Amino acid sequence: MIRVVVAEDSLTVRELLVEILESDPEIKVVGQAKNGAEAVELATRLKPDLVTMDVHMPVMDGFEATKEIMVRAPAPIVLVSSSASREDVELSFDAMRAGALMVVAKPDSPQSAVFDGRREQFLAMAKAMAHVKVVRRWAPRTQVVTPPVGRRRAPGAKVRLVAIAASTGGPAALQRILADLPRDFPVPILVVQHIATGFVAGLADWLSASCNLRVKVAESGEPLLERSVLLAPDDRHLGVTADARVIVADAPPVNGFRPSGTYLFASAAQAYGASVAAVILTGMGSDGVEGLKAVKAAGGQVLAQDEASSIVYGMPREAVAAGVVDAVLAVDAVAPRLLDLVAKPGRAEGGA
């Protein structure tokens, strides 16, 4: 049985969330909080398997409550937001930096035409997140492990494009990596981040405010520029042409994902060949792995986040298992390795 604490200041929404969660026989709501302080008290006392956390609440908001819970009684926390306003988005992503796993939109009312589908998505998410281990924190900067898999990249193949894919835990990992890159980082970065619809623009603003690079949502046909980071738009694939322009496509989902890391990596490999550095970050499932195979076949470089610094070691684990990873790195070691790759071709193999 999955034990859940629901934190939500609106009685109507709280009752709806409880009803949705308890419609699944594997879930039991063991506590309800109408503000962040109550959420902290209930999480500390009841030790639930999952906390669903409203972002805006009286007494203590979702960000402060998340910080307290992760210190006192770490538990998987899923943020449930009613809007994608700048303030809500900033609070949500700050809470993810503090340890929350992901942000989802509040379910529509039962009268909505899409209610049943979103209820099932919400339940599936809750059940998956309840099993995530959250006690570990970011690994030290010095931890670097290289698996005995993958081919060495061709000497002299200078990296001209960085492609990144992430899912659960990705926003915080992206923030740490981008914040460590200098203002004059000489190659463009393309990112696929699985995130709730409506939040990608806010993610771009949040990342841009905390790093030295220009971060924005990608637009079809725009040129790739150095010192810039482009995020895949909602429900669209992100790719690149051989003449360094953005592809934003509504092609069918790849293994259920749109945007898809596999689409991005395969497109980058086709356009840039051995000059691609592909990075697979924390996340559930295996999105991106098939695309990484294309990167390796083209002679590109593949980096994977390590288990210790991943919120969910799913996507990186699958990439390592597929034998396509050149180096497994703590999140804090990714930016230095990218700097090495764009400046000194051929030095990415092996240790630190």
| CA–CA separation, 80 and 64 (whole Å) | 15
Would you call 82 a catalytic residue per the annotation? Answer: no
Nearest CA-CA partner of 128 in 164, 104, 107: 104
Q: Which of 61, 194, 228, 275 is catalytic?
A: 194
| CA–CA separation, 113 and 225 (whole Å) | 42
Would you call 287 a catalytic residue per the annotation? Answer: yes
What would the two tokens of residue 169 be? 């835990």
Cβ neighbours of residue 22 under 8 Å, at least 6 residues apart? 28, 29
Q: Which of 92, 167, 260, 310 is catalytic?
A: 167
Query: What's CA 264's distance to the chain center, in Å?
Result: 15
Strand ranges, E, within 73-158: 77-81, 102-105, 144-145
Residue with token string 């993810």: 96
**How many distinct helices (H) and strands (E) make up the chain?**
11, 15
Angstrom CA distances, 140 to 40, 179, 205, 331, 338, stand at 28, 16, 27, 9, 18
Would you call 167 a catalytic residue per the annotation? Answer: yes
Nearest CA-CA partner of 106 in 73, 127, 83, 140: 83
Q: Which of 88, 94, 180, 287 is catalytic?
A: 287
Nearest CA-CA partner of 166 in 238, 273, 271, 219: 238
Cβ neighbours of residue 103 under 8 Å, at least 6 residues apart? 55, 78, 79, 80, 81, 92, 93, 95, 96, 195, 196, 199
Which residues are the active-site residues?
Answer: 167, 194, 287
